[in-house]
Structure 1
Amino acid sequence: MHPAFVVYLKEVRENLRDRRTLTSAFLTGPLLTPLLFVVLINLAIHQQLEKAERPLKLPVIGASYAPNLVRALEAGGIVPQPPLADPEAAVRRQDVDLVLRIAPAYAAAWRKGEPVQVELIHDSSQRNAGTAVERVSRLIETYARQQGAMRLVARGLSPTLAAPVQVADRDQATAQSRAVLMFNMLPYLFVLTLFIGGMYLAIDLTAGERERQSLEPLFINPVPRGQIFLGKLAAICTFSAASLAISLLAFGMVGRFMPAERLGMEIDLGPGFALRVLVLQLPMIVLLAALQSLVAAFARSYREAQTYLSLLMLLPILPSVLLMVLPFKPQAWMYAVPLLGQHLGILDLVRGDGLGLLPLSACLAGTAFVALLAVAATLRLYRSERLAISA
């Protein structure tokens, strides 16, 4: 039997008995992450839809100056409330989401046919107030357009004179492509699952063995250290791949309970999607395993390795942060950049556009090249005498 395969079987068998490794690789990341993701998305959707549909209580100052406007708001599901003495302070204290204030000069200006103004007092830093503000603003704008059209008709003019240019909205987004707005964190979650799935195993097979002083006896055996490293690397890759497979399976199951259709979206996280993501992440599995082994090899204790790898965990979030801060149109060369290529590729799959042969080849080749460099660097470290010295 090949020595690397012997090392692989030994490490897999021993770590299958390690409760901490099994919990991190097969439970914490792969199962809890999809469950929490779906629960949070469902709560957010239900909260927004409930705010958009239920009657909205709105304090109105000066309601008697514009009774027709108030009745129009009531027809749109707004429930006028008594005025507040200090509306600005009430909004800042978050006692109310917004307040409508109508000036005393409203009635006189309206009778003269002059433009009138109403105030919506709100705090834009309160995210939960955005739906209410948009809802009231839309109702007031609709009422304003209707009244403007009636004024033109009363003067014998066509209402179209006030709108010489009309915009016809031709949205080319499909129900599946709109799902990217909700599921744009999926690529990061998949990479994070890969990272966590192999992290504790990578720590145990390097820093852990140095701390237990079991690495020196292993290196004494008449087996090339490169084969020992390849066996350990294969074990880490196996746990990472299994963690990703469980996560994909979990997303495929819980994705059916996501009310995406209520937002006009469609998401397909079935077997076809899972298989494509798994193929896309194959070189990333090797790259992360090699980087984890490389970083953990510099640590002399298990705890020290945990500290180093916790800092390395910030690496997978970079593409997500980059796309949020600097949104840009994907270029062909970007697919060859590790992490960024996987991120863009998975978003293409979520959008339903598919992944062409050229982007797929660039993604696999670019990440595989960097993975080989990481493997070579770690292999060189394994051949040094420094690694054989226990803490």
Structure 2
Amino acid sequence: MKTTLTVFLKEVKENLRDRRTITSALLYGPLIGPVIFVLIMNTVLTRELNKADQPIKVPVIGAEYAPNMIAALKQQGLLPQPAIADPEEAVRNQGAEVVLRIPADFGTSWRKGEASQVELIYDSSQRDAGSSVERVRHMLDAYIRRQGAMRLVARGLAPTLMAPVTLDERDQSTPQSRAGQMFAILPYFFVLTVFMGGMYLAIDLTAGERERQSLEPLFANPVPRWKVLLGKLAAICAFSLTSLLIGVTGFGICGRLIPAEKLGMVINLGPSFAGQVLLIMLPLVILLASLQTLVAAFAKSYREAQTYLSMLMLVPALPSILLSVMPVKVAEWMYAVPLLGQQVGITQLLRGGQLSAQEIATCVISGLIVALLATLLTARVYSTERLAISA
């Protein structure tokens, strides 16, 4: 163990002097996610909240044909704007989010007691228009229900005839589970933080030393190569784990800066959440360190190793992508699959759920087994003469 400890301390000390490694592992990797996330979420939430509190401006074509309806919509917060010549083109070009068009025969149909039609023109592919369209649709629905009820009363009928079935909705979501949906991408940020924390170190300790022709003299020493490998892996894991700790802390701080409570959500990224995340991510730290070292061992230069590891970076994204496009019910077997188990476990914590001791143990033990296999494979590659030959 003395050899392993010596290699570990040497690599940690040398890489603490390397600005690129420090920037990637301890600054850029762990902090870029929280900073970008809080900026995006604050911008989006602030804009949507401001839009919800302010009257909504909607161009109205034919407002003179339904003055009573326009007056009722004004009371709900609609601010009619002058008519535009080509509403379809205006909506497609984002000149207007939504346009209300009232036909000339609206009044005639209304007086006859017939159904009067209005058109709501919008482009559902425009992301910014969604909330505005929903607000206008809600205003129109409220006006339609009220006028329908008044017509029935005028004819001596009960308004309840319009609704033979009443719907009582019981939403079982909690403020924290709704917040968990908003933070669904957070597990991938944690995996990416671990990856970035050890990537440049793994490249430098394998392909970098091979390119500098310092790996061959190191292997010439009368010590088992697996001890040298363990020292290097321990250094990579130390940087990755530190990066993860900074990232989890960063998200915990940034979570307090997001006005989620205004949307009826609760974000809990406190010490309990951080501790469980660090525990279930620990096997992934070892696994990714071994995989990064293994892939870098096949590169003859620093730049070539960067290319290989950039492609490897796509692998941790697969569970997040699959779960986002193919929502599945959480099953116990998922905790036994590395990457997927971490994704599912962290998502459960974000939704306010609790991970049982069995689920945590399954996630940790299965991850450690796979990490051990990856380490053994890396040690096998390290024992070959091909790796000792510098480029």
Q: Which moved more, 1:368-377 or 1:12-21?
A: 368-377
**2:208 counterpart residue number:** 208
**1:61 counterpart residue number:** 61
Shift in Å, 1:57: 1.2
Maintained 8 Å contact 2:97/2:123: yes
Pairwise mapping of residues 218-367 of structure 1 onto structure 2 (< 5 A)? 218-367=218-367
Q: Which residue identity does 1:101 align to in structure 2?
A: R
Q: Secondary structure, in 3 states, of the residue corresponding to 1:100?
A: strand
Q: Which moved more, 1:338-347 or 1:365-374?
A: 365-374
Q: Secondary structure, in 3 states, of the residue corresponding to 2:373?
A: helix
Q: Secondary structure, in 3 states, of the residue corresponding to 2:99?
A: strand
**1:185 counterpart residue number:** 185
**2:10 counterpart residue number:** 10
Map Cα deviations across residues 115-153 of structure 1 (whole Å, 9 max, x no partner). Answer: 121111111111001111110000000100011111111
d(CA) in 2 for partners of 1:244, 1:315: 18
Shift in Å, 1:234: 0.5
**1:217 counterpart residue number:** 217
d(CA) in 1 for partners of 2:128, 2:56: 13
Map Cα deviations across residues 45-80 of structure 1 (whole Å, 9 max, x no partner). Answer: 011111222121111111111111111211111111
Shift in Å, 1:187: 0.3
Q: Which residue identity does 1:256 align to in structure 2?
A: R
d(CA) in 2 for partners of 1:245, 1:301: 30
Shift in Å, 1:365: 2.0
d(CA) in 1 for partners of 2:284, 2:321: 19
Pairwise mapping of residues 109-124 of structure 1 onto structure 2 (< 5 A)? 109-124=109-124
d(CA) in 2 for partners of 1:166, 1:345: 38
5+ unaligned residues in a row in structure 2: which ranges?
Answer: none
Aligned length: 391
Q: Which residue identity does 1:114 align to in structure 2?
A: E
State the identity %: 62
d(CA) in 2 for partners of 1:41, 1:332: 32
**2:85 counterpart residue number:** 85
Pairwise mapping of residues 14-25 of structure 1 onto structure 2 (< 5 A)? 14-25=14-25
d(CA) in 2 for partners of 1:78, 1:288: 54
d(CA) in 2 for partners of 1:380, 1:43: 50
Q: Secondary structure, in 3 states, of the residue corresponding to 1:5?
A: helix
Q: Which moved more, 1:90-99 or 1:306-315?
A: 90-99
The two structures, once aligned, show a CA RMSD in angstroms of 0.9
d(CA) in 2 for partners of 1:93, 1:42: 26
Q: Secondary structure, in 3 states, of the residue corresponding to 1:134?
A: helix
d(CA) in 2 for partners of 1:218, 1:59: 75
d(CA) in 2 for partners of 1:193, 1:279: 15
Shift in Å, 1:291: 0.5
Q: Which residue identity does 1:339 align to in structure 2?
A: L
Map Cα deviations across residues 196-250 of structure 1 (whole Å, 9 max, x no partner). Answer: 0000000000000000000000000011000000110000000000000011111
Q: Which residue identity does 2:300 align to in structure 1?
A: R
d(CA) in 2 for partners of 1:300, 1:171: 58
d(CA) in 1 for partners of 2:198, 2:216: 23
**2:102 counterpart residue number:** 102
Q: Secondary structure, in 3 states, of the residue corresponding to 1:83?
A: coil
Shift in Å, 1:366: 2.0
**1:170 counterpart residue number:** 170
d(CA) in 1 for partners of 2:139, 2:278: 48
**1:385 counterpart residue number:** 385
Shift in Å, 1:155: 1.2
d(CA) in 1 for partners of 2:76, 2:162: 24
Shift in Å, 1:89: 1.1
**1:32 counterpart residue number:** 32
TM score, norm. by length of structure 2: 0.98
TM score, norm. by length of structure 1: 0.98
Shift in Å, 1:32: 2.6
Maintained 8 Å contact 2:335/2:341: yes
Map Cα deviations across residues 179-209 of structure 1 (whole Å, 9 max, x no partner). Answer: 1121111100000000000000000000000
Pairwise mapping of residues 142-153 of structure 1 onto structure 2 (< 5 A)? 142-153=142-153
d(CA) in 2 for partners of 1:317, 1:110: 56
Maintained 8 Å contact 2:181/2:351: no
**2:72 counterpart residue number:** 72
d(CA) in 2 for partners of 1:108, 1:332: 63
d(CA) in 2 for partners of 1:90, 1:273: 47
Map Cα deviations across residues 63-103 of structure 1 (whole Å, 9 max, x no partner). Answer: 11111111121111111111111111111111111110011
d(CA) in 2 for partners of 1:66, 1:323: 48
Q: Which residue identity does 1:227 align to in structure 2?
A: K
